[in-house]
Amino acid sequence: MQFGIFSVGDVTTDPTTGRTPSERERIKAMVTIALKAEEVGLDVFATGEHHNPPFVPSSPTTMLGYIAARTERLILSTATTLITTNDPVKIAEDYAMLQHLADGRVDLILGRGNTGPVYPWFGQDIRQGIPLAIENYALLHKLWREDVVDWEGRFRTPLQGFTATPRPLDGVPPFVWHGSIRSPEIAEQAAYYGDGFFANNIFWPKEHFIRLITLYRQRYAHYGHGTPEQAIVGLGGQVFMRKNSQDAVREFRPYFDNAPVYGHGPSLEDFMAETPLTVGSPQQVIDRTLTFREHFGDYQRQLFLMDHAGLPLKTVLEQLDILGEEVVPVLRREFAKNRPAGVPDAPTHAARTSEPSAA
């Protein structure tokens, strides 16, 4: 099982000091956080893709390429690659390039983004959101698997005898997760291709995601990729820890109360009860995270959101120390216990290269 962090890349004022980092500071902080993730023994760093303030990560492969050069082991992923508005030809080439530079430590979570206006910024029509996600991925899938592609679709100019370069490393395309918070069509898409399904469950109650993941697992089996239990599932999580849980709550509360997504709404306590957010001791985080398996089945990847809502870099790095030293080693041990034999490990380039059928 893989453990890591994912970042939205928001530039948010620290509510306790009133200080707002510059874009440069935030971008550099994201890199520092990624390097720290490798240092403390995490497996994955994933960055969002946004094209509007207050977010900075508009160019994921630039950032991930830079991090690749400074890490050895860390898997570099996107937390959203906009499959709707990016040209699939460019995605095919950018991420194949990154694969070569990072020696295969690359995968992607495809998504449709969090804001409607992004569609016209890239010449697309939001009313076609789901059809764009379907057609663009069908083309991307082909570009990574066929050396010479003829293509005709509804949303872009046809391709005739086109070869995306460079070809994927060792002929194995980056592993793809399809991310969704509400659309069953995307769970169906992930199942059809036998790709992973990443449910970013951090802002909504679990019942909703149980339905989506159950659908994905059933349809994964329907399309003959394996049993429902063998489908590849990733989940989000959101935590803040201190040795004493009261200290964690006291320190995190002003960030929670003013957070961009859920601030000025429910109390921290209510939100913790309704969503996976856990603010408390490392043991509380361990206990809560272990319950995910009971709800969603044995899964492959756990990503935590650690660096949003204006938390200062120093605090985030302290959080990563706690996560890497006290939480993840225990989670690895506990998740390994009673894991049924048929449940696959999280996908890596090395493993997929040795099993050509998985490509």
| 320-to-260, 275, 324 alpha-carbon distances in Å | 22, 21, 6
- Total number of residues binding other proteins (CB under 8 A)? 37
The mark string for 175-194 relative to other proteins (x by CB under 8 A, - otherwise) is ---------xx-xxx-xx--
Q: State the Rg of the chain over Cα.
A: 20
22 exposure class (CB count in 10 Å sphere: 0-12, 13-18, 19+): exposed
Q: Nearest approach, Cβ of 332 to other proteins (angstroms)?
A: 30
Binding span for other proteins by CB under 8 A among 130-138, 166-174, 299-307, 347-355: 130-138
Q: Nearest approach, Cβ of 220 to other proteins (angstroms)?
A: 12
Tokens 């995605």, residue located: 91
Q: Nearest approach, Cβ of 313 to other proteins (angstroms)?
A: 27
330 forms part of the interface with other proteins (CB under 8 A): no
Could you tell me if residue 298 is left (phi over 0), alpha (psi between -120 and 50 degrees) or otherwise beta? beta
- Rounded Cα distance, 286 and 268, in Å: 19
Binding span for other proteins by CB under 8 A among 8-16, 101-109, 149-157, 336-344: 149-157
Beta bridge partners of 190: none
Please, which residue, 264 or 333, has the CB nearer to other proteins? 264
Q: Which of 31, 35, 215, 351 binds other proteins (CB under 8 A)?
A: 215
334 forms part of the interface with other proteins (CB under 8 A): no
The packing angle between helices 206-222 and 282-296, to 10°, is 50
138 forms part of the interface with other proteins (CB under 8 A): yes
- Rounded Cα distance, 124 and 113, in Å: 13
56 forms part of the interface with other proteins (CB under 8 A): no
Q: How far apart are the first and last CA of the chain?
A: 19
Contact by Cβ (8 Å): 308, 5: no
Please, which residue, 130 or 313, has the CB nearer to other proteins? 130
| 227-to-129, 212, 231, 357 alpha-carbon distances in Å | 30, 16, 7, 16
226 forms part of the interface with other proteins (CB under 8 A): no
307 forms part of the interface with other proteins (CB under 8 A): no
Residues in 259-288 at the binding interface with other proteins, rule: CB under 8 A: 261-266, 270-271, 273-274
- For 72, the token pair is 């050895």
Q: Nearest approach, Cβ of 283 to other proteins (angstroms)?
A: 25
Q: Which of 75, 108, 134, 309 binds other proteins (CB under 8 A)?
A: 134
355 forms part of the interface with other proteins (CB under 8 A): no
Listed residue (50, 48, 61, 57) closest to 99, CA to CA: 61
| 256-to-106, 185, 186, 266 alpha-carbon distances in Å | 32, 32, 30, 10
31 forms part of the interface with other proteins (CB under 8 A): no
Q: Which of 43, 49, 94, 135 binds other proteins (CB under 8 A)?
A: 135
In this structure, the chain runs to a length of 359
Please, which residue, 66 or 204, has the CB nearer to other proteins? 204
- For other proteins, the binding residues (CB under 8 A) are 130-131, 134-135, 138, 152-154, 184-185, 187-189, 191-192, 203-205, 207-208, 210-211, 214-215, 218-219, 223, 261-266, 270-271, 273-274
